[in-house]
Structure 1
Amino acid sequence: MNNRILSLLETIRTSFWFIPALLVFSATLLASLVLSYDRYWQDYTPEFLQFIYHTSPESTRAILTTIASSMMTVTSIAFSITVVALSLASSQFGPRLIRNFMSDRGTQSVLGVFVAIFIYCLLVLQSTKSVEDLQFIPGMATYFAVLLAFVGVGVLIYFIHHVSYAIQADDVVDKVHCQLQKDIDRLFPNQTEWNKQSEPKALFMDNVNFSRAVKAGKDGYVQTVDFEKLVAIAKEHDIKINVLAKAGDAIVKSSTLLELSVETVKSLPDDAALRNCIMLGAKRTPLQDPEFAVRQLVEIAVRALSPGINDPYTAITCTDKLCAMLCDLSQRPFPPSLHTDDEGEIRVCTRSFEFSQIANASFNQIRQYGKDSIAVTIRLLESLILIAEHAANDNQKGFVQEQSDMIGQACEQSTFCKKDKADINYRLQQIREILDK
């Protein structure tokens, strides 16, 4: 799928307007259908339902007005609760976690249901008439409005429970971890053919002279890179492209995005077309950036370790989730850095993510901010033991060795008591034994 469409879908997914808009449209359609039934098929209503028409227009309007005003009041309360939850999430877990709350389908649906019931009642209310001989009582539509009012009460109860549960630290961490695991499954699928690269990247770079640079037209973060489009452009103009930017990079105006090999080229691609293959935005997104959700978990852990919050258990939970992710990632093949056209010729070279890069982003700040917490330090070492047992190559083992060495140095300089230092050194020794196997 086109990267711009993916970016648009991501924006829609994290918005408060899309699902409510769909529900309002559905309420409008439902009101039209039920009112059409009341106008044209009222005589075919079964006898046991005829009682819904045995009322006056005044009582019908009173019922609809009561439901509509109640739904608008409840909508205001729901929006207020949502804003309070967002403020609490921003202060306790970090402002970047607001995106996760905004993408919550439960909250979006609740707000949409309340607004949709309100709109439905307004549409039915305006069709109720009692002017001299002209009288129309939308009995079936009013009956549906009463049923929707019961639905609204149930949704309100669900919403209060949902918000109370959603702002708990363990639930927030688990949701971020689930999103991180989905991103890992999408960005690092188990494709065995990725392990077979026809030509090493270093050899390819040595044999190709990239002599023309394409500069960025604006500042921003790299959100997506359209590799398929770049391969198509490279094949069309018979060139090779070296992509210097990858998802998550901060780009400044006039910095180099791409390099082209142009020695024997008859026609050059337009710079604007090449720039369009790399989408820049004001913020990072998880579309192609595996560190996005990692940094969210790290931010929760770092805030939990701050003196104002002092919640090491939340930091330990984040460490456990990151450890589980890294153990899974260690068994997955990484996307190739060389991309070929349909004839098998290498056209595009990219900067690919490495295990150590993602792993260091997961552990560095937690290690730095948690160096005075014995419980966090020990859990970091226990996580490194698990990662060492799953390590499949030197890059992964090097990460474990580097992190354990830094923890060991911090331990030597700390004022921990002998027993605590012994616990730490015991786990450091376990790591050495596993890496030496």
Structure 2
Amino acid sequence: MSDVWVTQSRAAGRRPRALSPLREHLRDTFWFAPTAAMAGVIVVWLAAQALDTALVDALREDGDYATLDELLRFAQDAKAVVSAVGSAMMTFIGVVFSISLVAVQMASGQFTPRVVRLFVRSRITKATFAVFLATFVLTLLVLTAYDTTDDPRTVTTVPLVQSVLTLGMVALSLLLFVLYVNATLRLMRISHVIARIAAESFRVIASMPAPAEGARPPGLGSATAWVAHEGRAGVLRDVHIARLVRVARKHGVVLRLIPRIGDFVVPGTPLLAVHGGAAPPAGALRGATSVGVERTYHQDLGFGLRQLCDIALRALSPAINDPTTAVQAVDRIVEFLAALARHPLDAALHRDRAGAVRLVQPVPGWTELVDLGFSEVRGCAAGSPQVTRRMLAGLDDLLLLTHAGRGEPLLRHRALLRLAVEESAPHAADRAFALRPDRQGIG
């Protein structure tokens, strides 16, 4: 009987809310944060300009022209600084952009092309570019606010608050630049890249519906209608769970997602099976599924595991021959599987507020995840005692953490690994050494 993830309906508690796909899609873009920052700094500049105008009007009403004259001198001194900042900021942005391109190129060539997503999703990278561009836009706006007259009796505005705001943005830009360089250097180190991938994978686990004790999939029976995929071909990145549940409840049906998150779908292939009634109108389902050119972390349980395996495989290739990196990847593979060792898998049941199942979503099963984590790495690790020893130790640990019903794939990979080592190592001493479990590989 299949294991199941179930969204529990609590009469007295609060129903878990599905994560918004739009938020995750914006995290996978690089344009949104800088654009929002430039739009926001325009609003801030307008507010600062209003404050400067109000300050000048107040001083003129009080007849305090001496103070107004001092403010004019300060503003003229600050104008030179603002002009220098404006001319230098674009050069600074170019330097930061060059650093990013070099870091991305090195990481994708040394680890796996899929780690580029980590740089795109990096908050500090987006914040740095956003603040730099906002500072540049702010300097241009502040320069337009300077009055041409130096007479305190006729001046209409003195960009005092605007100049101070610009200097504050410059200080913030310098601080972010230091943090950005530190974060970029960390992302160029394989241990931190692997840790980031593992952290993203654990967020997927945390976002999965909570398992309900003794819950089982409902008897859906035969499908009464089908919904085909429309639009472009691509990878199914995620589904809008809350919208699909609302649509299914409104039309009194149960929807069953046919492809898994991460599957490649083409137009015309079945996307949703409808149980218990007619298919909802196409307009109600528009935008409920998202298709892209590559997989994402949002709802894809196996994507992080796929990247860890890619890193391990590249490290074990003859061109790189870096078994220590492969061991670090195996460490996180074992950690990821250990977190799922006793969790229900195979399907996710999403319920409405009344507790009725409205959406059935397939997720990878335990055997599939174990095969994904070990099959390819095991095939390349036979000639590397450091990796085989770590894999054996990891399989032994997982056997202790899982219940009896999940031991078969672990025992199978353990036996196949032993067989591969026996075939690749001609001497008994080498075989015994390579088949000795060790959590550090070779110390």
Which bracket does the TM-score occupy, shorter chain normalised? Answer: 0.7 to 0.9
Q: Work out whether 1:361 is the aligned partner of 2:372.
A: yes
1:244-393 matches, within 5 Å, as 244-260=258-274, 269-270=280-281, 277-334=288-345, 336=347, 349-393=360-404
In structure 2, the partner of 1:116 is: 134
Q: Work out whether 1:80 is the aligned partner of 2:98.
A: yes
Distance 1:92 1:240, change over 3 A: same
State the secondary structure of the residue aligned to 1:293: helix
Q: CA separation in 1, counterparts of 2:144 and 2:261? A: 52
Deviation at 1:71, TM superposition (A): 1.4
Distance 1:268 1:164, change over 3 A: closer
Deviation at 1:303, TM superposition (A): 1.6
Out of 179, 182, 185, the residue aligned to residue 203 of structure 2 is 182
State the secondary structure of the residue aligned to 1:87: helix
State the secondary structure of the residue aligned to 2:20: helix
Q: CA separation in 2, counterparts of 1:424 and 1:278? A: 47
Deviation at 1:319, TM superposition (A): 0.6
Q: Indicate conservation of the 8 Å contact 2:348/2:363, yes or no.
A: yes
Give the letter for the 1:33 counterpart: A
Q: Work out whether 1:422 is the aligned partner of 2:432.
A: yes
Q: Indicate conservation of the 8 Å contact 1:176/1:297, yes or no.
A: yes
Q: CA separation in 2, counterparts of 1:401 and 1:422? A: 19
In structure 2, the partner of 1:216 is: 229
Give the letter for the 1:247 counterpart: I
Q: Point out the structure with the larger helix share.
A: 1
Distance 1:362 1:269, change over 3 A: same
Report the aligned-residue RMSD.
3.4
Q: Work out whether 1:33 is the aligned partner of 2:47.
A: yes
Q: CA separation in 1, counterparts of 2:279 and 2:71? A: 74
Distance 1:238 1:119, change over 3 A: closer
Could you give the per-residue CA deviations for residues 227-283 of structure 1, whole angstroms, max 9, x where no partner exists? 565555556655555543221222233333344457xx6x55446756865443332
In structure 2, the partner of 1:127 is: 145
1:86-101 matches, within 5 Å, as 86-101=104-119
In structure 2, the partner of 1:159 is: 180
Greater RCO, CA 8 A, separation 6+: 2
Q: How many residues align?
A: 414
Q: Which deviates more, 105-114 or 415-424?
A: 415-424
Q: Provide the TM-score with structure 2 as the length reference.
A: 0.81
Gap runs ≥5 in structure 2: 1-15, 439-443
Q: Indicate conservation of the 8 Å contact 2:124/2:176, yes or no.
A: no
Q: Provide the TM-score with structure 1 as the length reference.
A: 0.82
Q: Indicate conservation of the 8 Å contact 1:210/1:242, yes or no.
A: no
Deviation at 1:411, TM superposition (A): 1.3
Q: CA separation in 2, counterparts of 1:63 and 1:340? A: 60
Out of 139, 144, 148, the residue aligned to residue 165 of structure 2 is 144
Q: CA separation in 2, counterparts of 1:41 and 1:174? A: 52
Q: Indicate conservation of the 8 Å contact 1:188/1:333, yes or no.
A: no
Deviation at 1:14, TM superposition (A): 2.1
Q: Indicate conservation of the 8 Å contact 1:216/1:252, yes or no.
A: yes
Q: Indicate conservation of the 8 Å contact 1:52/1:140, yes or no.
A: no
